[in-house]
Chains A and B, each alone.
Chain A
C-alpha cells in the first residue's frame, strides 16, 4: 500500500519532524518505507539516518510505502504528521507559570 504526500512542516524531514516521523513509523508492525517522489529508492522509515539522508524539504512530495497488518493505520498517522504545519509540542513543559 502506497501514498504520496506533500511535506508541510517548515523544517522538512529534519530535526523534530524527522524524529517524530521515525518514532511514529516504529510504533507499527507494518514495514514502512519512504522515498522522495522523484523515483529514488525507498528507505527504511524506522531509520533516522536513512530518513534524514533523503534531505526532504518543506513543500516536497514523498512516497510512503507500508506493508503489513496495520499498514493503513501507519500511513494515516504518518500522513497526518507530515501534513501538520508544526509538530504540536506534545511535550510542552508544565513548568511554566
Chain B
C-alpha cells in the first residue's frame, strides 16, 4: 500500500473506547503444534505414553492454577473462573478414557490427545451461542496439553516489545492471562464477540481492542503500523498522520512522571498498588511517585514451602530499586482462611473475613514467617537507596499494633547486633477495621503513617461482604458512614503527626479525586492505569473548594446524595481536565 492511498479500515466490534497505534505482531500459537504422522503402533510403548499423558496433565493443572491466580488478581474472580473449568476438562473422565484408548491402540500421547478432543470440539461447535464458546475452551485445553507433550515453546506474550499491536485469530483465556497491558498497545482478533474473554480482559485492563474483524485482518503483515480504534471498531493499517493524532488524543491523559500538587500548591503523592514484580514496570511507566501498596502474598502462594529470607530480600530490593527516589510501602503478609496456603495450618472458618487474618496470623500461628519477612524487609532497606515503609494489615487494637512494633524493634536490634547499619523504616498501620478507624488517634501516635484500605473498610463498616452481589449496593465507599470513618482517620492521623494515605479502589476513582483531596489525604495509591487521570485531576483541584465539597459530602445522608454533590462539582472541573488532556 502506498502512503498516499486512503488506508482501508477493517471493521469489527470495538470493545474498549480507546485507540492507539502500534506495530503488528501476528500471534499464531498453534504453528508449532502441527503433529507429524504417528509412528508405527508397535514402536510405541503404551505404558510410557500413559505416563507422559499423566505428567502433561499435572503440569497443565499447575499452569492453570497460576494463570487462575494471576487473572483473579488482575481482572477478577469471575474471569478467573474459566481456569477452574479448564482444570475440570483436564481431569475429565471422557477425555482421559479417550486418550487412554488411543494410547492402547498404539498412538503416542499427543496424537491420542488430538483424537480424544476431536469429537467433543465438533459437538460443541455445532451448538449455538454460549455452547459454541465451550469449543474454544476445549481447544485451549487441548493445545495446552499438546504443547506440554511436544515441548513446543510457548509464545511468550508477556515479553512483547512495548508498543506492539497483537493480531490473532482468537485469544484464549490462557493467552490473555499472559498479556502485559503496559506493553501491548492494542489487539485485534479475527473471531470473537463483545462478551468473549479477550474483550472482557481488554476492558478491565484498558487495552484498545477490536474483535470479530473477520479474515480481512490477515491482509495486514507483521511489522505494519496499525491503528486499533476500539471506539469505532476499526483496524487501520498505515494510518494517516491525522488518524494517528486522533488516536493519541483518545488514549489516556498525559503521563506525568513528576509529582503533582493542587492548583494552589498542596502536594499529594500518587502511588501504585502492585501485587507482583511484573507490575513494577507498569507503575513506573504510568508515572507513579512510588508504591503505596506492595502486596506480598504472591511470594507465598503456589509453592510448597515459604520463601526464605534471602529470596524475600531479593524481591524487596527489586521493588525498592524501581523507585530509588520514591517510597515503597510494603504490606506484611495478609492471608486468612479464605485463600489456603498449603504449608500453613489454616482452618476453614465459617467467615474468613472475621477470622484469623492479616496481623492476627502474624502475631499468632505465622509469627516465625512474620519475623523472617521483617528481617528481609529491613535487610533490603539497608541495601537500597529508596525509602522503605512497612505496614501491618487488619489491625483492630492498639495492643496488636504494639506487639507488631515490638517484633519490628527486636528484629532491628538483632540485625544491628549482626552489624546491619540502617535506621528502622517508616512503620504504619492499615485502617481497614471500624475499630482501627475509631481508635486512629492512639494508633497514629505510635506510627509514622496510616493507610486506609477502603475495600475492606467499606466491607466492615457496612457489614456487606465484598463478593456478595446481593449486597453490592451497600458496598459503596461513598456511603456517608465510610466517608466519616475516612474523615476521622485523616484528622486523627494528622493530630498524631502521621501522614495518611489511601490504597483502596476508591483512591483510583478519578471522579472522587477532588473529594479525597478535600478530605485531606496526603497520598493516594491505585492501579497503575488510573494514575495519569488522577494526577491530572489533582493538578486541577483548588484545596479550599475541595474542602467545601468534602464537608458537604460527609454531611450528606445517603450515598446517592454524596455522589450527587460530587457530580455537580465535577461538572465545573471536567472542563478544566478535558482541556488539560488535549494538550499532549
Contact = CB atoms under 8 A, between A and B. Distances in A.
Interface stretch (A34-42, A49-57, A66-74): A49-57
A94 B85 contact: no
A49 B92 contact: yes
Binding site secondary structure of chain B? helix
B92 A48 contact: yes
A97 B91 CA distance: 35
A16 B469 contact: no
A95 B92 contact: no
A26 B467 CA distance: 26
Interface in B62-100: 69, 72-73, 77-78, 80-82, 84-85, 87-89, 91-95
Interface stretch (B104-112, B145-153, B202-210, B449-457): B449-457
Interface in B435-482: 453-456, 466-470
Interface string A13-39: 011101110110010000000000000
Contact of A18 (B85, B91, B432): B85
A7 to B, nearest CB: 15
Nearest to B87: A19
A44 interface: yes
Interface of B: 69, 72-73, 77-78, 80-82, 84-85, 87-89, 91-95, 120, 123-124, 127, 130-131, 134, 138, 273, 275, 293, 295, 297, 334-336, 338-339, 352, 357, 430, 432, 453-456, 466-470, 503-505
A48 B131 contact: no
A95 B75 CA distance: 13
Given A44-B93, A47-B94, A92 B124 contact: no
A15 B78 CA distance: 9
Nearest to A46: B93
B130 A20 contact: no
B293 A22 contact: no
B85 A19 contact: yes
B504 A97 contact: yes
Given A19-B84, A95-B297, A95-B334, 7 more contacts: A16-B78, A16-B85, A55-B127, A92-B338, A92-B467, A95-B275, A96-B453
Interface of A: 14-16, 18-20, 22-23, 26, 44, 46-50, 52-53, 55, 85-86, 88-97
B444 to A, nearest CB: 19
Contact of B297 (A49, A91, A94): A94
A90 B94 contact: no
18 contacts: A14-B134, A22-B88, A44-B93, A46-B93, A47-B93, A48-B85, A49-B95, A49-B138, A52-B124, A52-B134, A86-B468, A90-B338, A91-B77, A91-B80, A95-B297, A97-B293, A97-B430, A97-B503
A91 to B, nearest CB: 7
Nearest to B334: A94
Contact of B468 (A14, A53, A88, A95): A88
Contact of B339 (A14, A47, A50, A91): A91
A44 B92 CA distance: 10
A47 B123 CA distance: 15
CB-based closest 10 A-B pairs: A97-B453, A48-B88, A16-B81, A19-B84, A89-B467, A19-B85, A96-B455, A97-B504, A92-B467, A22-B88
A29 B418 CA distance: 57
B482 to A, nearest CB: 13
B84 A16 contact: yes
A94 B455 CA distance: 11
Contacts of B295: 95
A18 B88 CA distance: 9
